[in-house]
C-alpha cells in the first residue's frame, strides 16, 4: 500500500473529521490498518514535527495535527485489537503530581500510539505511587513523565526515587519532557532521556525500544 496523500495532508492540516472519514473509507476498501499507519499517518506526523522544529508550525498547528492523528486512529484501534497486532512496546504516560497540564502529554501519547506503541495514559496530577502501580500492572518498556511548571517538575525526581525504592528502575526506561526541563535536569534526576518536543520524545522512544 502506498502513501495516501489525502490522509497525509488531512493530518498535516489538522482536519480531524476528514482524516477519520478517509481512514474509514480505506478500511471499507480492505486496507491494512498497520500499512495505513506506517505509510501515511506516521510520515504525516514526522512532517508536522519537522515543520514545528523549523518554526513553520507552532503549538496550535501541532495540537490540531495531533487531534487529527487521534481521530484517524479511532476506527483502527478495534481492528488492530482483533488482529492481535503486536505493538512495538508499551508506554505509560502521565503528568506528575501537582501538574494539571495535558496538552504536551496528550500529543506525545497520540504520536506514540500512531507509531505502533500501546499507550497507557494516567492523566494529570499523578502521584509517584500511581506510576509505580502502573509499572507493576502494565510492565511498560518506557515511562514518559510530563511537567509544565517549575514547581511541579521537582515531582519527577520524587517519581524516579519511588520507582527505584520499589525495585523497578531497571525494568523501565524513563523519559521526561516539558517546557521548564532540559537534558541536564533529566540526567540529575536519573531519567534515561529528555524530549524537547513531542517529535523528539517519540523518536527517542523508538530508539530505546529498538536498542533493547
**Alpha carbon of residue 136 to chain centroid:** 20
Q: Which of 82, 104, 133 is the last residue of a domain?
A: 82
Torsion, CA 79, CA 83, CA 89, CA 90, rounded to 10:
60
Distance CA 137, CA 27 (A): 33
| Same-domain status, 140 and 71 | no
Give pTM, 2 decimals. 0.78
pLDDT at 1: 60
Strands, sheet with 118-121, edge to edge from the N-terminal-most edge strand: 118-121, 90-95, 142-146, 173-177, 193-194
Q: How many domains does the chain have?
A: 2
Helices (H), the chain: 5-12, 16-28, 33-36, 42-53, 59-73, 77-82, 103-114, 128-138, 150-165, 183-188, 198-211
| Same-domain status, 78 and 179 | no
Q: Which of 50, 82, 114 is the last residue of a domain?
A: 82
* Span 102-118, pLDDT tens digits: 888 988 888 888 778 89
Residue 163 and residue 132 in contact, taking contact as beta carbons nearer than 8 Å: yes
pLDDT at 17: 98
Per-residue pLDDT, averaged over 125-138, amounts to 98
Residue 208 and residue 192 in contact, taking contact as beta carbons nearer than 8 Å: yes
**Does the structure show a pLDDT above 80 at 127?**
yes
Name the residue with higher pLDDT: 8 or 198: 8
Distance CA 144, CA 96 (A): 10
Give the three cell numbers for residue 159. 517519581
* Span 170-197, pLDDT tens digits: 999 999 999 899 999 999 999 999 998 8
Q: Which domain holds residue 75?
A: 5-82
| Same-domain status, 63 and 123 | no
CATH number at residue 78: 1.10.1240.10
CATH number at residue 95: 3.40.50.280
| Same-domain status, 99 and 54 | no
Report CA-CA distances (Å) from 204 to 24, 53, 192. 30, 16, 10
pLDDT at 78: 86
| Same-domain status, 57 and 78 | yes
| Same-domain status, 57 and 104 | no
| Same-domain status, 34 and 130 | no
* Span 31-85, pLDDT tens digits: 998 889 889 998 898 888 788 878 898 878 988 998 899 899 899 888 877 776 6
Terminus-to-terminus CA distance in the chain, angstroms?
Answer: 29
Per-residue pLDDT, averaged over 16-28, amounts to 97
| Same-domain status, 192 and 142 | yes
**Does the structure show a pLDDT above 90 at 134?**
yes
Q: Which of 28, 56, 82 is the last residue of a domain?
A: 82
Compute the C-alpha angle 26/104/77, nearest 5°. 30
| Same-domain status, 143 and 167 | yes
What percent of the chain is predicted at pLDDT more than 70?
99
Amino acid at each position: 500500500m502506498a502513501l495516501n496523500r489525502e490522509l497525509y495532508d488531512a493530518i498535516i492540516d489538522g482536519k480531524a473529521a476528514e482524516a477519520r472519514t478517509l481512514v474509514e473509507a480505506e478500511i471499507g476498501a480492505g486496507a491494512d490498518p498497520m500499512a495505513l499507519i506506517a505509510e501515511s499517518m506516521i510520515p504525516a506526523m514526522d512532517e508536522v514535527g519537522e515543520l514545528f522544529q523549523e518554526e513553520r508550525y507552532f503549538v496550535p498547528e501541532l495540537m490540531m495535527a495531533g487531534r487529527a492523528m487521534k481521530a484517524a486512529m479511532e476506527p483502527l484501534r478495534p481492528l488492530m485489537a482483533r488482529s492481535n497486532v503486536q505493538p512495538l512496546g508499551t508506554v505509560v504516560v502521565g503528568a506528575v503530581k501537582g501538574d494539571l497540564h495535558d496538552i504536551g502529554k496528550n500529543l506525545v501519547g497520540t504520536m506514540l500510539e500512531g507509531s505502533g506503541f500501546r499507550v497507557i495514559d494516567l492523566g494529570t496530577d499523578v502521584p509517584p505511587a500511581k506510576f509505580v502501580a502502573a509499572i507493576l500492572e502494565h510492565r511498560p518498556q518506557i515511562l514518559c513523565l510530563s511537567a509544565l511548571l517549575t514547581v511541579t517538575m521537582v515531582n519527577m525526581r520524587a517519581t524516579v526515587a519511588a520507582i527505584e525504592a520499589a525495585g523497578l528502575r531497571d525494568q523501565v526506561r524513563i523519559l521526561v519532557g516539558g517546557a521548564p526541563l532540559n537534558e541536564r535536569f533529566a540526567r540529575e534526576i536519573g531519567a534515561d532521556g529528555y524530549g524537547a518536543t513531542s517529535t523528539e520524545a517519540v523518536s527517542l522512544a523508538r530508539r530505546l525500544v529498538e536498542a533493547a
